[in-house]
Chain A
Amino acid sequence: MTNTHPTATTEPASDRIGLALRLLGWVLLGLIPIYAWSVIQAPIDSVQGVMQKILYVHPPLAYGAYLGFVATAIAGGLFLWKGQERHDQLAIAGAEVGTLFCTLMLITGPIWARGAWGPGNWWVWDARLTLTLLLWFVYLAYLLLRSFTEGDERSARFASIYGILGVVLIPLNYWIIDLVGGAMHPDNIEFEGEQRSLGEGMGLPFLVGNLTFFFAFAYLLVLRWRVGVLRVEAEALAFDDQSSGL
């Protein structure tokens, strides 16, 4: 396996990742105030009241929840193919950040459901909620597999395999749940025509919310990735120092 070892002539991977992190950070810093302002000034829904504003939080979290696992699977596949540790670190980052977004989605969803559908309706077994819950369990299984497997290289290899299996599960579960039934979730949002789901003034905060959470996911993913790569580089340096007798 090739470690990313910083030399006089090779720019370490962590530096390149750090540049991407700074760029993402600036974009996110610009988006957050716009997002906050757009949510505060968005009109209050006549039926659901202020609870409806979870719309600007809950669906955007889905980006992180699903993209996280896609990142984990792709990075895991690259690790199996090329054996480079930075790919494994990206896979870990995808899983950890994805788990965070998935957990937040599972918390905000029932809060919204209770507010929108009334007392006692914290949870329904409809397709999207069920799929998200199953994805959350796959994430947890992935993280447990990493923790319990002995040996760093073996742990990375096994986790990569499970990441690939997990990403295949997403469309499989969606198909099966669709086949066997599931019902109450709001339909996909319509932006045009008489069936518009969003009222006047709600389009902008929804769009900005989606952008903000996407960049928040990207920022956290790259941040966690950089931490992992820095640790690997530090360990490689310490090993080299030890070998040369310092």
Chain B
Amino acid sequence: MRVALALLWKDLATEWRSRDRLVAMTVFSFLVVVVFQFAWPPMEPEEVVRFAPGVLWVTYVFAAVIGLGRTFAMELENDAMTALALAPGTRGWIFLGKAMATWILITVVQAMTAFVFALFFRVDLSSGLASTAAVAALANVSICSIGTLLSAMSVRSRFRDVLLPVLLIPTLIPVLAAAVNGTTATLAGDGLPFAALQPLIVIGGIYSILCFLLFDFVLDE
């Protein structure tokens, strides 16, 4: 666990100093939101609310792909990957540290994106804000788990920028469907029934445990 926390601190400190991933993901998310404005015909705010969960989660997934692509790319510099592999204990803790750092980053980006989305499309996200945040937080566990594992795999391949989305997006379909389902309920003011949270909890648990165990086979340095 100390390894995971050390790695979490290292990644957050690196990100705070450079802010390159944060800026890239945030700008990209804002651009996607703007693209949707031009992709849609004019709609009343009540109609926009119906599409809001889908638009938000498509934006979140694509922004996550951008961010996850850099998770291990920076470790390739100065052979830092070898240093990671030499860390004491199970390599799953390296996975956990990386995944937690990415979770924090993605959650911050999602919060800013939601604010911009509400502003541009005049959608009131304040009703059920805590519930929506809970859905996002749980979905991010799945996204960051599977994304961290696949990022470590794709970083040592040709066409890594293309390979990661191709590997990641099929695995995110169940998360996306469950997250949109949950967000639809929270934005409609229906509260957050456990039935909407249950798929996210199950998928998050399965992905986290599986990726923790399989990460040992990924780092071969």
Chain A residues within CB distance 8 Å of chain B: 80, 134, 137-138, 140-141, 144-145, 148-150, 154, 157-158, 160-162, 164-166, 168-169, 172-173, 175-177, 179-180
- Whether A161 lies near B174 (C-beta < 8 A) is no
Give the size range of B's interface with the partner: 20 to 34
Say yes or no for B2: interface residue by CB 8 A criterion.
Answer: no
A162 touches which of B153, B160, B169, B174 (Cβ 8 Å): B153
The complex places the Cα of A149 from the Cα of B150 at a distance, in Å, of 12
- Whether A141 lies near B166 (C-beta < 8 A) is yes
- Whether B217 lies near A172 (C-beta < 8 A) is no
The complex places the Cα of A154 from the Cα of B163 at a distance, in Å, of 15
The complex places the Cα of A140 from the Cα of B210 at a distance, in Å, of 21
Contact with A along B136-160 (1 / 0, CB 8 A): 0000000000100110011011111
Given known A-B contacts A148-B159, A177-B177, A165 and B153 have beta carbons under 8 A apart: no
- Whether A157 lies near B199 (C-beta < 8 A) is no
- Whether B199 lies near A148 (C-beta < 8 A) is no
Chain B residues within CB distance 8 Å of chain A: 146, 149-150, 153-154, 156-160, 163, 166-167, 169-171, 173-174, 177-178, 180-181, 199, 203, 206, 210, 214, 217-218, 220
Given known A-B contacts A162-B153, A176-B178, A169 and B218 have beta carbons under 8 A apart: no
- Whether A150 lies near B167 (C-beta < 8 A) is no
Q: How far is the CB of A60 from chain B (nearest CB, A)?
A: 25
- Whether A145 lies near B167 (C-beta < 8 A) is yes
The complex places the Cα of A162 from the Cα of B217 at a distance, in Å, of 11
Q: How far is the CB of A182 from chain B (nearest CB, A)?
A: 10
- Whether A140 lies near B166 (C-beta < 8 A) is yes
Residues of B within 8 A of A175 (CB): 174, 199
What are 24 of the A-B contact pairs (CB < 8 Å)? A134-B170, A138-B171, A141-B166, A148-B159, A149-B156, A149-B157, A150-B156, A154-B156, A161-B149, A161-B214, A161-B217, A161-B218, A164-B210, A165-B171, A173-B173, A175-B174, A176-B173, A176-B174, A176-B178, A179-B177, A179-B178, A180-B177, A180-B178, A180-B180
B167 touches which of A154, A162, A176 (Cβ 8 Å): A162
B199 touches which of A138, A140, A144, A179 (Cβ 8 Å): A179
Q: How far is the CB of B11 from chain A (nearest CB, A)?
A: 22
In the complex, which residue of chain B has the Cβ closest to the Cβ of A80? B217
Residues of A within 8 A of B203 (CB): 172, 176
Residues of A within 8 A of B181 (CB): 179-180
Residues of A within 8 A of B169 (CB): 137
B153 touches which of A149, A168, A172, A177 (Cβ 8 Å): A149
Contacts A179-B181, A179-B199, A180-B181 known; 18 new A-B pairs at CB < 8 A? A144-B163, A144-B167, A145-B153, A145-B154, A148-B159, A149-B153, A150-B157, A154-B156, A157-B218, A160-B217, A164-B210, A165-B210, A172-B206, A176-B174, A176-B177, A176-B178, A179-B177, A180-B177
